[in-house]
Structure 1
Amino acid sequence: MKSKVAEKLFTFDEYLAYDDRTDNRYELVDGRLELMNPRTFRDLLIADFLQDNFKAEISRLGLPWVCFREAGIRTGWRKSRLSDLYIVPVEQVQEFLDRSAVTEIPPLLAVEVVSPESVSRDYRFKRSEYAALEIPEYWIVDPMKSKVTVLLWE
């Protein structure tokens, strides 16, 4: 169940500074905070598996990349999404180490693990927002359909 928080419209900077003194996670959608549901154990296990394998392959190939879980991607003027996983070049985060973990530069790869409450968000909204950012590759991992959709920006 997704719910909106507060009627106030937030700027991107206000979103980055927002602290309701809980462990709640929010996305910024058209200036409104949207509370994200806790992840399922299946989603967490899939994301762990993918992150472990991405990190191992990045290390094996000696690539200057890092893989983050549940970090943000700025997708618009008053929009920021929490991605299940993404990969970015190390230099993209080095100068921002003490800032909120929201990249304002499109990642190389974004991955979303679909859950019952995130179907339209992952297949529709994030898909179009990530395409608008020209993220080179977007994976939609759907355990309910036992399917992985790989979308490439061309």
Structure 2
Amino acid sequence: MVKLATKLYSFEEYLTYDDGTDNKYELVNGELKVMPTASGFHALILHFIFKMLEQEIERIKQQWKVMPGIVGVRTAKTKSRIPDLVILSESQCQEIREMTTAVLESPPLLAVEIVSPGNADDDYRYKRSEYAVREIPEYWIIDPDAKKVSILLLVSGFYEATEFTEEQEIKSELFPDLKLSIKQIFEV
């Protein structure tokens, strides 16, 4: 069996890549990786978390923005990820105004990933190490199958994780007064 060579893309080629479809791609070691379409439950969780974070940002009167799956984060020379949600600082909001493709070179304040079935390694292993290297200070992993949320805080270059389940309220460093229980998230 002959294996065809996979085309490797530079970061600059990735930024301008357009195959004429509505597919979204991440760049992983130079290879384009199509992002799967979200399940209905995934989409409902995403919408709920988006609303909760947006309301909390308004309540604490910050000039941050919640961006749902449309802003990428460059995690290495030939890697770029598109988290389910990111929180942008005021200066990052200004930066993306000038970008033709919204991919951050600086770390967002928060990245949120919702685990897709059969894709847990991406969120728990690969993105975890990439986001730590990129120095994203807080990273949430929302796992619908396990019915848990992991909040990872960057400490000395590595993430320390706390898992929340059942009726527990999550504890976020970025949003210390946020009232959000695991039950609320998974009963959307």
TM range (shorter): over 0.9
* Residue in structure 1 matched with residue 12 of structure 2 by the alignment: 13
d(CA) in 1 for partners of 2:48, 2:55: 11
Query: How far did residue 143 of structure 1 move?
Result: 0.7
Show structure 1 runs of 4+ deviating over 2 A. none
How many residues in Structure 1 have an aligned counterpart in Structure 2? 149
d(CA) in 2 for partners of 1:135, 1:51: 18
Tell me the TM-score normalised to structure 1 length: 0.93
1 or 2, which has the higher strand percentage?
1
* Structure 2 counterpart SS, 1:117: coil
* Residue in structure 2 matched with residue 3 of structure 1 by the alignment: none
Spell out, residue by residue over 1:51-91, the C-alpha distance to the aligned partner (whole angstroms, 9 max, x if none). Answer: 10111110111112111011211100000011000101121
Return the index of the structure with the highest Cα Rg.
2
* Residue in structure 1 matched with residue 159 of structure 2 by the alignment: none
d(CA) in 1 for partners of 2:49, 2:12: 31
* Residue in structure 1 matched with residue 36 of structure 2 by the alignment: 37
Spell out, residue by residue over 1:73-112, the C-alpha distance to the aligned partner (whole angstroms, 9 max, x if none). Answer: 1100000011000101121131331421211110110000
d(CA) in 1 for partners of 2:119, 2:54: 25
* Residue in structure 2 matched with residue 128 of structure 1 by the alignment: 129
Quick one: which amino acid aligns to residue 105 of structure 1?
A: S
d(CA) in 2 for partners of 1:146, 1:15: 34
Q: CA RMSD in A?
A: 1.2
The answer on 1:72 being equivalent to 2:75 is no
* Residue in structure 1 matched with residue 23 of structure 2 by the alignment: 24
* Residue in structure 2 matched with residue 114 of structure 1 by the alignment: 115
Query: How far did residue 145 of structure 1 move?
Result: 0.6
Quick one: which amino acid aligns to residue 128 of structure 2?
A: R
d(CA) in 2 for partners of 1:121, 1:149: 14
Structure 2 unpaired stretches of 5+: 156-188
Greater relative CO, 1 or 2 (CA 8 Å, sep 6+): 1
* Residue in structure 1 matched with residue 102 of structure 2 by the alignment: 101
* Structure 2 counterpart SS, 1:83: coil
Q: Write out aligned runs for 1:51-62 (5 A).
A: 51-62=50-61
Structure 1 unpaired stretches of 5+: 1-5
